[in-house]
């Protein structure tokens, strides 16, 4: 009926070999949630599925499942679950990672979903997900969201596709400097900077990341300057368990009364986790005040170009960033 082979490789090297052999007809499966969704929708029907969970029983298992952290570093194997990240006692520098992980999806999905799968999941744009519709990312001529209903699409960095990156975890990870480790037949111990992992649709339409099909994401390593504090928050239409309408992560430290190493990342507003650089610049070296945060939250959406239905993300996102900055810098919120 439907030919499909599920390959359970003993180690990463074998996994890499299978992927290299089958090229684009093969996909990797980690938590397997998004993959099965896409299979059911008929938008992704590979011939070969390489089940990475089989690796857990082999020699590469401990590395893929390890999660370690200290004040300035965090290293997570790609098969670490969101649940494990959500329940880990991470230092304050990485609080945003834990908060993001614990608010993604729902408890049972977090139990299955992995760090790697979450970062590399495909967009949730409703045109992309509709099995009967052929959008730009599926080889069609146009981005259907651009001219259709785009309430949940990009206000920043869009074009020619206006997807938003679906990963809540990515929003938090983009706060940090770090590397993404990958394996595969060509380059068994490769790495790329985390900042280069996600790519905008003007560079690539068939995927949202820079990895090639035969490359397997194996770990993420983050670093943080001493004294950094971080946080994550989101506005959802359904309060618990929903794809965020807008989300934001921020990190900063207070040094001699001024803000340092300020990073602000917006999620669900752009095809990649979006660094709000103008807002960061406004706060870098500034005093943490209500007025500074109000101004920074306005600057966070500098350059936004809303489509027909999604201008609301800008107003909501500004309020969200402002609230998050207050909490992070411990400047009391007005009643």
Partner 1 sequence: MSDAPRLSRRGLFRTVGGTAVLSGCTREGGGLRRPAHPEVAGPDPTEVQLVLDGRRVRARVPIVRTLATCLTEDLGATAPKVACDRGACGACMVRVDGRALPSCSLLAVDVDGRCVDTAAHPEPPPLLAALRKAFVEHDAAQCGYCTSGMIVAAWDLLEHANARADLTEDEVRRKMAGNLCRCGTHRAVVRAVLAVARGEVTAS
Partner 2 sequence: MKKPPATIDGLPAWGPSFRPTVVGRPTDRIDGPAKVAGRAVYTTHVRPPGLLYGAIVRAKVAAGIVEGIDLSPATKMAGVRAAIPLAEPGSRIRFAGQDLAAVAATTPEIARAAAAAVEVRIAPAPFVVDLDAALADGAPRVHEANVAERRTEGDDPTEAAAKGTVVGNVRPLPAFVTGDVERALDRADVVFDATYETPVVTHCALEPHALTVAWDGDDAMTVWASTQSIFSVRDEMAEVFGLAPAKVTVICEHLGGGFGAKFGASAPGSRMGYAAGALAREAKAPVRLVLDRREEQEVTGHRPSSRQRVRLGATRDGSLVAIDVLAHGSAGIGTGAGVGRNAAHIYTRCPNRRVRAHDVFTHAGPGTAMRAPGHPQGAFALELALDELAAHLGKDPLDLRIAHDPHPVRRKEYEIGRERFSWDARRAAAKAAREEGARIRTGAGVAASIWGDFGRARVARVTVTVARDGSVAVRNGVQDIGGGIATVLAQVVAEVLHRDVADVTVAYGRSTLGRSVGSGGSQTTSSVAPAARVAAEKAKQALFEAVAEAVGVPAAAVAFDGPSIRAGNRVLSFAEACAFLDDDGIEVTGSRGPTASDLPFPFPGGGRAQIGGVQFAAVEVDTWTGEVRCTRITAVHDCGRVMNPKTTESQVAGGIMMGLGYALTEIRHMDPTTGRVLNADLERYKLPGFGELPEIDVHFVPVDTPANATGSVGIGEPATIPTAAAVACAVFDALGVAVRRLPITPDAVLAALSREEEAP
Site for partner 2, rule CB under 8 A: 1-2, 42, 124, 126-127, 130, 132-133, 144, 147-149, 151-152, 235, 237-243, 245, 311-313, 315-316, 318-320, 322-323, 333-335
Residue 84's region, left for phi above 0, alpha for psi from -120 to 50, else beta, is: alpha
Q: H helices within 88-229, ranges in order?
A: 95-103, 107-112, 115-120, 144-147, 168-173
Chosen from partner 2, partner 1, none, partner binding at 189 (C-beta under 5 to 8 Å by type): none
Give 41 or 261: the residue with its C-beta nearer to partner 2. 41
Q: How far is the CB of 266 from partner 1 (least distance, A)?
A: 24
Give 89 or 330: the residue with its C-beta nearer to partner 1. 89
Give the Cα separation of 324 and 103 in Å (integer).
Answer: 15
Give 243 or 331: the residue with its C-beta nearer to partner 2. 243
Nearest to 149 by CA among 167, 135, 139: 135
Got the DSSP string for 209-274? BS--TT-EEEEEEEE--TT-EEEEEEE-SSSSSS--SEEEEEEEEEETTEEEEEEEEEESSSSS-E
**Encoded tokens for 247:** 């989300």
Interacting residue ranges for partner 1, rule: CB under 8 A = 1-10, 31-33, 36-37, 39-40, 53-54, 56-57, 61-62, 65-70, 73, 79-81, 83-84, 87-89, 91, 105-109, 111-112, 114, 240-241
Q: How far is the CB of 57 from partner 1 (least distance, A)?
A: 4
Q: How far is the CB of 335 from partner 2 (least distance, A)?
A: 5
Q: How far is the CB of 59 from partner 1 (least distance, A)?
A: 13
Give 1 or 291: the residue with its C-beta nearer to partner 2. 1
**Encoded tokens for 250:** 């921020």
Q: Is the separation of the CB atoms in 266 and 321 below 8 Å?
A: yes
Q: How far is the CB of 30 from partner 1 (least distance, A)?
A: 9
Chosen from partner 2, partner 1, none, partner binding at 157 (C-beta under 5 to 8 Å by type): none
Give the Cα separation of 36 and 57 in Å (integer).
Answer: 22
Give 195 or 316: the residue with its C-beta nearer to partner 2. 316
Strands 229-235, 246-255: pairing is: antiparallel
**Encoded tokens for 133:** 């519709």
Give 111 or 298: the residue with its C-beta nearer to partner 1. 111
Query: Counting Cβ atoms within 10 Å, is residue 231 exposed (0-12), middle (13-18) or buried (19+)?
Result: buried
Give 242 or 261: the residue with its C-beta nearer to partner 2. 242
Q: How far is the CB of 78 from partner 1 (least distance, A)?
A: 11
Chosen from partner 2, partner 1, none, partner binding at 61 (C-beta under 5 to 8 Å by type): partner 1
Nearest to 101 by CA among 192, 92, 88: 88
**Encoded tokens for 148:** 């259709």
Give 138 or 204: the residue with its C-beta nearer to partner 2. 138
In the sheet with 190-193, reading across from the earlier edge strand, the strands are 67-69, 73-77, 216-223, 177-183, 190-193
Chosen from partner 1, partner 2, none, partner binding at 132 (C-beta under 5 to 8 Å by type): partner 2
Chosen from partner 1, partner 2, none, partner binding at 148 (C-beta under 5 to 8 Å by type): partner 2
Chosen from partner 1, partner 2, none, partner binding at 53 (C-beta under 5 to 8 Å by type): partner 1
Q: Is the separation of the CB atoms in 145 and 307 below 8 Å?
A: yes
Give the Cα separation of 244 and 117 in Å (integer).
Answer: 18
Chosen from partner 1, partner 2, none, partner binding at 221 (C-beta under 5 to 8 Å by type): none
Chosen from partner 2, partner 1, none, partner binding at 275 (C-beta under 5 to 8 Å by type): none
């Amino acid at each position: 009926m439907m030919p499909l082979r599920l390959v359970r490789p003993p180690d990463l090297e074998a996994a890499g070999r299978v992927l290299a052999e089958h090229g684009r007809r093969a996909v990797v499966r980690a938590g397997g949630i998004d993959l099965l969704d896409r299979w059911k929708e008929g938008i992704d029907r590979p011939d070969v599925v390489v089940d990475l969970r089989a690796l857990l029983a082999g020699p590469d298992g401990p590395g893929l499942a390890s999660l370690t952290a200290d004040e300035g570093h965090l290293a997570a194997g790609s098969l670490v679950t969101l649940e494990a990240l959500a329940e880990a006692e991470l230092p304050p520098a990485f609080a945003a990672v834990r908060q993001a992980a614990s608010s993604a999806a729902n408890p049972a999905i977090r139990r299955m979903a992995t760090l790697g799968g979450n970062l590399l999941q495909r967009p949730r744009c409703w045109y992309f997900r509709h099995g009967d519709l052929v959008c730009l990312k599926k080889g069609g001529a146009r981005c259907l969201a651009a001219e259709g209903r785009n309430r949940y699409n990009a206000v920043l960095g869009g074009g020619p596709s206006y997807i938003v990156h679906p990963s809540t975890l990515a929003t938090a990870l983009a706060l940090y400097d770090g590397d993404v480790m990958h394996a595969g037949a060509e380059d068994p111990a490769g790495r790329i900077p985390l900042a280069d992992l996600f790519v905008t649709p003007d560079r690539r339409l068939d995927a949202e990341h820079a990895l090639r099909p035969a490359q397997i994401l194996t770990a993420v390593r983050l670093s943080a300057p001493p004294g950094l504090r971080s946080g994550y928050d989101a506005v959802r239409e359904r309060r618990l368990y929903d794809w965020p309408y807008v989300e934001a992560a921020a990190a900063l430290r207070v040094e001699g009364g001024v803000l340092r190493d300020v990073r602000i990342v917006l999620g669900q507003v752009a095809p990649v986790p979006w660094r709000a650089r103008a807002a960061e610049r406004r706060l870098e070296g500034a005093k943490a005040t209500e007025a500074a945060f109000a101004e920074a939250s306005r600057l966070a959406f500098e350059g936004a170009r809303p489509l027909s239905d999604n201008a609301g993300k800008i107003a909501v996102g500004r309020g969200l960033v402002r609230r998050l900055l207050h909490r992070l810098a411990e400047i009391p919120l007005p009643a």
